[in-house]
Structure 1
């Protein structure tokens, strides 16, 4: 242990003439620890929400989606495009999809929903949502010729309209099909063969799945689709693969990655993380001012000791380092305590779901926490940097103490 650190640690442990200095020192440690813990928890929440959102999105959607640039008559040559896309590097699976807006009705209630027409065999290779149904089986989606077509619906939607397995429901397309008398709504009956529970409110509350053929009949369109979904073996290759798909599909179509389709949400989360870090960083700065107060009062109390040390040969740099070490010891203690406290609270809250949410409002059932090691490192370095900078003034004041002036009347 160096001379400066030894003296600094003795000063911190020694009994004080003024008890107020000890109280301020303790408050300084608590303040730094609280600020660090709060920042760790805030970043863990942001990371948790982002990871949960990404997980739910990738469970229900593909890594890359090919769609028309301008809404038209749909993708007519989708079968040939699907076969071409399967040959592209990093492509694991390709599936056709048809999206539309309809109304689901039962004798009890009605609600607007999103219908997704799929090829069941391809869909489970592209998205994970239907791989593990809460009730029913994906195999039952394809019904024998002449039987009522099957449909899979979200848990919350099923509860709202009062649907259970084998319940008959109707899907109504208000736009309908053209007739000599104008557009007539299309109504098609389905049998519920599966119920999924993704844990993501938007899907569970408003999505239904059926076969591609049944969706086309409900939406009153020919053998076309409006999306080709692609799953990759490496999600980081999504931008490069999207560019290849654009070139192969032609100028009428655009390929968007999962991130591009949700860019606004993720950018908002990143901005929120930055704003939160700045706000709590200001709290840490206020806590660090207590370190400044403690060191200034320490210098005033230890004037005589400083004079004696300098008269015994201690240089200005050594005196300066003594008080810098004091500030850093306070900062390190508070930072370590804050890191442990923050990560512990984040782990407990995430494991036991201590902060429930309203899914209707937030889309999540509870606040997720995901502390990252790198975030902890950044927070610790920031706290230590603030603690170091705050020691410059009091340590410089201590170094300027004149032994002759202090010891003249001793």
Structure 2
């Protein structure tokens, strides 16, 4: 066994001074709390990103293809939904491209390498979005109607359904069915089974039809829940006097969200004709994604603060350990031990403290994360945070990097306070004792 390691192990596990024990326990507790806070900050931030992006992409898809002349989100300009290019997009399995070398998502160097997408296209679905007016016996409310067909990814939408069902395309009744958000239903005091009147304006002529509320959904994204309802796409085709193959846009759903930017560029440059425009949902609704990026900044600030607390704490503890062992240091120097050998004794000792602190921090942090995931005891204002409870997503690799990074960064920093060993004179310490 290494000499420094052997001595460190002896003094670490046979410490009999009560003051030193208290200091070491405080150090372990500080490291444990710091890591637990970092784990919770990471888990909640990752949870926010995962839950909210899943809601957005689950409801809106990943990429929209529309007429290139559209200037507003709900401007109704038809495109041909049956062109061969859309079949080509449906058949995309993987895309190869030249990418930058990177580490953990951060590009470095100037070298480019051939890379491949994580997946391909899962589906392409037509849609039409048009403003309308809903009228009940007591209320009037403006909204956006999103028309979808029977092949839409309704199974993926089930998690948003609060009451009732989605549109049934097995009969003609689908042309009189509507799915409202819980936000709209509450404002208009509606429930499943209630009747409403929808009004549209086309060429200065008002178009009205009676609909039955068959379902109520809730995504928690108030910005969209307060104005969006779902109906059969053929209703809006009838209003616009379009043919069966005309749509406002095509919604592309990907196998993997990480391919969003690559696929959007690939489809735009390689697949669609020049009269069509391709836009990712990240570009279409930037405000939410900018808000999510702010959460990353918050996580980094918390992590840096906790690491700083740990560094200061461990440096203080190490200095106390060195000062309490001055006689031992003097004797070891007198016996011929080198400066670095003695400094490594205290680094190994600090390493033991760190390991026990990190172990406790993992138990506390992961324990709290699992409890939050199971019971959701941290509640949020859904109007401000898009969710009613703080979401948790535990990324094993990220947690591992937090542990490894904290351990080695702290040990590297502790090399500095061990330099005080060089100032200790063996003659003075032995004579003093």
Range moving further from structure 2, 64-73 or 31-40: 64-73
CA distance in 2, matches of 1:266, 1:350: 23
Offset of 1:304 from its aligned partner? 1.2
1:164 correspondence with 2:163: no
CA distance in 2, matches of 1:364, 1:132: 12
Q: Structure 1 pair 141/61, CA: closer, same or farther in 2 (3 Å)?
A: farther
> Is the 2:45–2:299 Cα contact (8 Å) retained in structure 1?
no
CA distance in 2, matches of 1:298, 1:76: 75
Alignment of 1:23-38 (within 5 A): 23-38=22-37
CA distance in 2, matches of 1:265, 1:207: 17
Determine the structure 1 residue equivalent to 2:202. 177
Determine the structure 1 residue equivalent to 2:16. 15
Alignment of 1:115-154 (within 5 A): 115-119=145-149, 121-124=150-153, 128-129=156-157, 133=161, 134-139=163-168, 142-143=171-172, 149-154=176-181
Alignment of 1:230-309 (within 5 A): 230-233=252-255, 237-239=259-261, 241-243=263-265, 245-246=267-268, 247-262=270-285, 265-309=288-332
CA distance in 2, matches of 1:86, 1:397: 66
> Is the 2:35–2:306 Cα contact (8 Å) retained in structure 1?
no
> Is the 2:64–2:278 Cα contact (8 Å) retained in structure 1?
yes
Offset of 1:81 from its aligned partner? 5.5
Tell me the alpha carbon deviations over residues 217-250 of structure 1, each in whole angstroms, 9 at most, x when there is no partner: 55x5644432112234555555555445434432
Offset of 1:190 from its aligned partner? 1.3
> Is the 2:261–2:280 Cα contact (8 Å) retained in structure 1?
yes
Q: Structure 1 pair 316/82, CA: closer, same or farther in 2 (3 Å)?
A: closer
> Is the 1:98–1:116 Cα contact (8 Å) retained in structure 2?
yes
Determine the structure 2 residue equivalent to 1:372. 395
CA RMSD of aligned residues (A): 3.0
Tell me the alpha carbon deviations over residues 151-186 of structure 1, each in whole angstroms, 9 at most, x when there is no partner: 12223422332223332112233xx233xxxx3554
Q: Structure 1 pair 333/363, CA: closer, same or farther in 2 (3 Å)?
A: same
CA distance in 2, matches of 1:284, 1:51: 25
> Is the 1:153–1:195 Cα contact (8 Å) retained in structure 2?
yes
Determine the structure 1 residue equivalent to 2:98. none
Q: Secondary structure of 1:229's partner?
A: strand
Given the two structures, how large is their TM-score scaled by the length of structure 2? 0.81
> Is the 1:24–1:294 Cα contact (8 Å) retained in structure 2?
yes
Unaligned segments of structure 1, at least 5 residues:
none
Equivalent of residue 350 in structure 1, options 348, 373, 377: 373
> Is the 1:289–1:390 Cα contact (8 Å) retained in structure 2?
no
Determine the structure 1 residue equivalent to 2:382. 359
Tell me the alpha carbon deviations over residues 86-127 of structure 1, each in whole angstroms, 9 at most, x when there is no partner: 6642344332111122232212333332210121x22137x7
Offset of 1:348 from its aligned partner? 0.5
Determine the structure 1 residue equivalent to 2:342. 319
Offset of 1:319 from its aligned partner? 0.6
CA distance in 2, matches of 1:148, 1:393: 75
Determine the structure 1 residue equivalent to 2:100. none
Determine the structure 1 residue equivalent to 2:52. 53
Q: Structure 1 pair 391/124, CA: closer, same or farther in 2 (3 Å)?
A: closer
Unaligned segments of structure 2, at least 5 residues:
94-120
1:404 correspondence with 2:407: no
CA distance in 2, matches of 1:187, 1:221: 15
Range moving further from structure 2, 229-238 or 382-391: 229-238
How many residues align structurally?
A: 397
Determine the structure 1 residue equivalent to 2:116. none
Determine the structure 1 residue equivalent to 2:96. none
Q: Structure 1 pair 392/56, CA: closer, same or farther in 2 (3 Å)?
A: same
Equivalent of residue 234 in structure 2, options 198, 213, 231: 213
CA distance in 1, matches of 2:410, 2:394: 23
